[in-house]
């Protein structure tokens, strides 16, 4: 027995809106000619959602990129290694382990955020094309003038710096606990 409900739903959507989902490009395309008023309404609603999601990812990124280095530096500034005893060194090892793992986890999360962020930009550009815009926020978004000047490089520097800071602190605490490191 075949499931025709999905196919009938797709056909009903196509008949009602004049839009069809192109599986190869993964975008809604007008079935024929210019988009109708209903198609424009749907595209504008999708564009609004894409923009809202893009802003949300953007906000999360900058909150993380602000808080992670500040918290890391604050912890390093307020810890006085000369006043550490065995218990505080053990606690320090746990804190630095968590700091290191959290930094790496947030770095991985940010890389996934980049993928979603770029996908939303592509979707927004596609919607702008489908709406017939020749100049719009995402279509006219310039690329970097130099390869090194991009979000990935900047966020990578921040995450590498923070992760190396936590790694150094972790190794320092390991040395205090075990004396294994010179």
The model's pTM is 0.71
Of the ranges 11-25, 31-45, 55-69, which is most confident? 55-69
Residue 16 placed within a domain = no
Total structural domains within the chain: 1
8 Å CB contact between 136 and 50: no
Token readout for 31 is: 């079935």
The answer to whether residue 51 is domain-embedded is: no
Q: What mean pLDDT, rounded, does the chain reach?
A: 82
79: number of Cβ within 10 Å: 15
In a domain, 69, yes or no: yes
**Tokens for 174?**
């390991």
Tell which residue, 143, 125, 160, has the closest CA to residue 54: 125
46 within some domain: no
**CA dihedral over 57, 58, 64, 67, signed as positive or negative:** negative
Q: Establish if 12 belongs to a structural domain.
A: no
Q: Note whether residue 127 is domain-resident.
A: yes
Identify whether 29 is part of a domain.
Answer: no
Domain annotation covers residue 22: no
Q: Where in the sequence is the domain holding 165, given as residue range(s)? A: 61-178
pLDDT in tens, 79-133: 776 676 766 778 888 888 999 999 999 999 999 999 999 999 999 998 988 888 8
């Amino acid at each position: 027995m075949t499931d025709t409900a999905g196919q009938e739903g797709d056909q009903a959507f196509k008949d009602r809106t004049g839009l069809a989902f192109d599986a190869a490009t993964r975008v809604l395309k007008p079935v024929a000619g210019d988009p109708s008023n209903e198609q424009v309404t749907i595209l504008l609603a999708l564009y609004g959602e894409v923009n809202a999601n893009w802003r949300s990812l953007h906000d999360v990124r900058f909150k993380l990129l602000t808080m992670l280095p500040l918290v890391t530096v604050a912890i390093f500034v307020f810890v006085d290694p000369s006043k550490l005893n065995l218990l505080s060194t053990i606690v320090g090892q746990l804190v630095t382990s968590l700091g290191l793992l959290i930094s790496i986890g947030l770095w991985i999360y940010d890389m996934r955020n980049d993928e979603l962020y770029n996908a939303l930009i592509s979707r927004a550009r596609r919607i702008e094309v489908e709406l017939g815009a020749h100049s719009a926020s995402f279509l006219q978004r310039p690329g970097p003038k130099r390869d090194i000047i991009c979000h990935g490089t900047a966020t990578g520097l921040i995450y590498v710096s923070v992760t190396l800071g936590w790694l150094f602190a972790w190794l320092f605490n390991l040395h205090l606990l075990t004396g294994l490191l010179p």
